[in-house]
Structure 1
């Protein structure tokens, strides 16, 4: 049996030392490789972050350029004047409209005090008081004089608004405005448009009045025919009586005897004529007065609106309007009027009559084709208002049309039978009288218009 030679202690130590050194060198090399890998990995991450940041920065720069271009184009196209200054009153930016108005290059205005823009001491003092002493507060429609390049003064109206940073710090002022002459022209154009609109409105109202009046000519002619015929018949009778009285008086003054005068008096029926004279005269006066009243009512109805505010009886207005409309309707149209007491309001009787006539005429048109056409008009006092309801027995109003009835030029009638303005104008008249006009379908059928007007007090 063979045996391994034994190692001496000194040999063992040397071998261990060498082994340790080799292991340490290997660990150091491995550690150095790991560090470099970490460094390379970190560099890759930083490089990727830099690339993403650069892409994001380029996107933001592009968006910023677009925003700046947009703001620049808006400022350039603005017709109003624009001045931006800092808290010290130095101009930071102006738009092309201001530079063109003053006749200077807008670049030359940057950095200059805003007070250099004003033409006189008063404007500079006012600007100092409004734009500096009251900085942080808004100023509306302040009138100033700006200095043009040729030395002239340009009156402008300026508005001042504080300018803040994102954290609420006051940065300066934003001033906008426009030449006063341009404002005056705009106001004049607006005033003229308003006057034209009022004129057109009055013309439409008057046109609708004339249209309503034209529809009632036949009925009014019939209404006038009765008293005129009565007056005409009485006048013929009075003329015949005058001839007989003339014969009798001639006989008396011609020397006729008492017996001859008595016989002639009996023949001419003088005593009977004397009894008839008072009734003939009274009837003639009544017919003339009736004719005068009808003509006056026609004149009031057709007269241009004068916004009269007089106390008037609604029952009397409704009766007159119903009478006129019924005279102009060929087929029978029964109207029943029921009032709980006297209802009086303040306003124009002619305008209110036009409203009632439009509502009655509308009911008459809505009931065409119904066997027994009728309209119920009821009036009562409720909470300080006169409430008058117009309920017809027609087929009712389609739901789709309920919200359109008071719109101008809306009409369900055939072409040539309506202007589409009657209800719209009536709605406006009622509003001007402080009342309301509504429409709905009655639960028992037919349409229901409700007119409410303030009651006259005192």
Structure 2
């Protein structure tokens, strides 16, 4: 819509000055002048063209006449020569070119005014047909034909010559008349050009004025279009605003409003409110409000409209919120804005709820949350009472030196300097309270920068304070306990080493270091098997890796300084974390070198005692081969005395060989007895190894076989084939088996003495087999004696306990046998057989499942 009272357009001023009729007549005159000038120019050009056409026609006729004459001369020459046939070919070619010239003249007659009228073309065509009929055929011409062709061709040449003369005469008259017309046309063109020049001057003056007016009109039109575009852009911008916008005039009446304002209240902001006063529009809006506050709200909004009061947030009945305000322009207009702030209000409510929850969480923390700046503490949560001993309002505003012990302030300053170097890092330190707070309470401070530094380089801080006084006291108590425990560990005579789950030593006491001959630096961090030589330690490594959870015991031989060897009995157990995973492994060793030496001496004594008991049987067993040797020697000596070697040399040789063979066999038998005896009596090297248990049992039975035979006791062996090997010392196992067999023999003798009667044949049975249920090797030694009294069974393996008469038993045999079985990780048990007699059961682990650690 254009503004009222606009000025006339420049186009209207132009037509008012010259008039529409004048402009039309000027245009017609200019058009007629242009047409006249154009016609004159065209006439002159046509005259020039006709003249050029006539000149061309004349030249064409002259050329045709010349070519026809050459044809005639060539024809006459052909008829008068001997090679006439060859010359006729040249004649035909010349005539063909001349005939083509006739065709060109006649075809082009339509575009030429004076050249080749229809009469000429018809005559030329007839002549060509006549001459072509006689001249062009290739057959030789007869004499009559030659005359006819020559006559026709000469007549054609004469016709062309006559027509050329007539055409030239006619063209001369036409040219004279054309010169007159040309002079008149030139005069006409000159007059027309003058008129056109005058008209153009007049038109230039008029067109100049019109052009100036047009420029002014176009500028005004562009200005008006720019104003319309600007107004449209303004309207589009107002429509694009994300708020409701209404514009009121200086008189307070609505001029315009955008769609967002209409969307806020579709029933009130309709097109018909344009022109209404703000109070009228306000009455519409108030009709939707409750009557209770209608007048109050009406007065408040009207005062805000008139006085440009600050905007307020209004709550709508449908739950929406709007920020409303009016802005007065310098020209008296009022811009009314309505912004939907529902989302912002909801966000504000959420933030308030979140802040309330945050404060609730902060107040529920056992740690005191704080913020501070360059002027001291700025905020402190409610946990201040429990952490610092005072309410928060009494502490806020204090500086650090008023809260902490002076001796701890350097640590705080170090953390603040570190924070300046790396503002995003979290600083942690422990400090004691002091100043205006209760002195001596330990606190843990964790804080970081909450914003950029101020002008003085101080960062605002946010963090927490935690009361760790009880924790510090407990840590001190733990350190004291650790010192006590360390003293106990160091002063203990046991060897103590602690290894982690990677089997690396983390702790070792002085006793362990002395026994290993290494310093603490050489031990800590190294694997256990690198510190001490474990020999075949696969089972130990598996146990340290946590594959077995039960406690473990093994013997360790250590080489101390000077080459001395110490035997250590190591008891190992795992230390588990809360999840049941192995955290550490504790190895506790006891030096048993002296005890083992005494034990070995006791074993040797027991072995010697056994040998003493076996002496009679062994002497008898050795005496038998010696008797045979004696008999053989006596027989050889008798043969020599009888001179048998002279009288019957051959018979003597056979008898001597027989006697010598008996001597050799009996000597070998005696040597075998001695070897078995030496093997049993020999001291071991205390290095356990895997051995064949069946072979060991057989050797033990052989040692007491003679005694059993003299005692009229049969020994039966039932040894399963392919028994697994066991781990230990062979001679000690044999000592256990021999002790069992001797005890069985003594029990049988006592039972015979108590029950005299016919001689009976008793038995001792040795049985060995592999128990697949327990995967152990079992040896059973049973006898046909009286059995074991019930009251004796519980004390059977006690040291110095014996049921034999005084002077016949030491009470150490079964006790030592029990110790030997323990050393071999075996067990020994005794019971009575249902059929009578005692049964001892020995059980051994397989050698491939037994741990052996040797240095």
Q: Scaled by the length of structure 1, what TM-score is found?
A: 0.51
Aligned to 2:736: 355
Whole-angstrom distance in 1 between the partners of 2:738 and 2:725: 17
Larger radius of gyration: 2
Whole-angstrom distance in 2 between the partners of 1:374 and 1:185: 51
Does structure 1 residue 334 correspond to structure 2 residue 714? yes
| Partner-residue secondary structure (3-state), 2:769 | strand
User: RMSD across aligned C-alpha pairs, in angstroms?
Assistant: 4.0
Whole-angstrom distance in 1 between the partners of 2:782 and 2:792: 17
Aligned to 1:369: 751
> 784, 791, 802: which one pairs with 1:411?
802
Whole-angstrom distance in 2 between the partners of 1:455 and 1:185: 34
> 271, 281, 286: which one pairs with 2:660?
281
Aligned to 2:275: none
Deviation at 1:216, TM superposition (A): 0.9
Deviation at 1:296, TM superposition (A): 1.6
> 667, 670, 692: which one pairs with 1:291?
670
Deviation at 1:180, TM superposition (A): 11
**Residues 424-453 of structure 1, C-alpha deviations (whole Å, 9 max, x = no match):** 212222333343221122233322111233
1:185/1:309 CA distance change after superposition, 3 Å: closer
| Partner-residue secondary structure (3-state), 1:358 | helix
Does structure 1 residue 426 correspond to structure 2 residue 817? yes
User: Could you tell me whether the CA contact under 8 Å between 1:406 and 1:424 is conserved in 2?
Assistant: yes
**Residues 270-294 of structure 1, C-alpha deviations (whole Å, 9 max, x = no match):** 1112223333232222111111111
| Partner-residue secondary structure (3-state), 1:398 | coil
Deviation at 1:413, TM superposition (A): 1.6
User: Could you tell me whether the CA contact under 8 Å between 1:351 and 1:429 is conserved in 2?
Assistant: yes
Counterpart mapping for 1:243-322 below 5 A = 265=646, 268-307=647-686, 314-322=693-701
Whole-angstrom distance in 2 between the partners of 1:241 and 1:164: 111
Deviation at 1:319, TM superposition (A): 4.4
Whole-angstrom distance in 2 between the partners of 1:425 and 1:223: 27
Aligned to 2:502: none
| Partner-residue secondary structure (3-state), 2:791 | helix
User: Could you tell me whether the CA contact under 8 Å between 2:676 and 2:703 is conserved in 1?
Assistant: no
**Residues 347-381 of structure 1, C-alpha deviations (whole Å, 9 max, x = no match):** 43322221111011111222322464432322323
Deviation at 1:315, TM superposition (A): 4.5
> 574, 597, 615: which one pairs with 1:217?
615
Counterpart mapping for 1:34-49 below 5 A = none
> 350, 369, 381: which one pairs with 2:770?
381
| Partner-residue secondary structure (3-state), 1:415 | coil
User: Could you tell me whether the CA contact under 8 Å between 1:387 and 1:452 is conserved in 2?
Assistant: yes
1:273/1:407 CA distance change after superposition, 3 Å: same
Deviation at 1:333, TM superposition (A): 2.5
Deviation at 1:208, TM superposition (A): 0.5
Whole-angstrom distance in 2 between the partners of 1:226 and 1:278: 20
Structure 1's unaligned 5+ residue stretches are 1-131, 133-162, 249-264
Counterpart mapping for 1:9-28 below 5 A = none
Does structure 1 residue 195 correspond to structure 2 residue 574? no
Deviation at 1:456, TM superposition (A): 6.6
User: Could you tell me whether the CA contact under 8 Å between 2:620 and 2:706 is conserved in 1?
Assistant: yes
User: Could you tell me whether the CA contact under 8 Å between 2:677 and 2:703 is conserved in 1?
Assistant: no
Whole-angstrom distance in 2 between the partners of 1:389 and 1:437: 10
Q: Scaled by the length of structure 2, what TM-score is found?
A: 0.29
Deviation at 1:417, TM superposition (A): 1.2
Whole-angstrom distance in 2 between the partners of 1:216 and 1:193: 35
| Partner-residue secondary structure (3-state), 2:718 | strand
Aligned to 1:12: none
| Partner-residue secondary structure (3-state), 1:453 | strand
> 345, 358, 362: which one pairs with 2:725?
345
Whole-angstrom distance in 2 between the partners of 1:242 and 1:310: 54
Deviation at 1:316, TM superposition (A): 4.8
Whole-angstrom distance in 2 between the partners of 1:310 and 1:182: 34
Deviation at 1:327, TM superposition (A): 3.6
Deviation at 1:399, TM superposition (A): 3.1
Aligned to 2:491: 183
Whole-angstrom distance in 1 between the partners of 2:488 and 2:790: 52
Whole-angstrom distance in 1 between the partners of 2:801 and 2:667: 42
Whole-angstrom distance in 2 between the partners of 1:416 and 1:235: 42
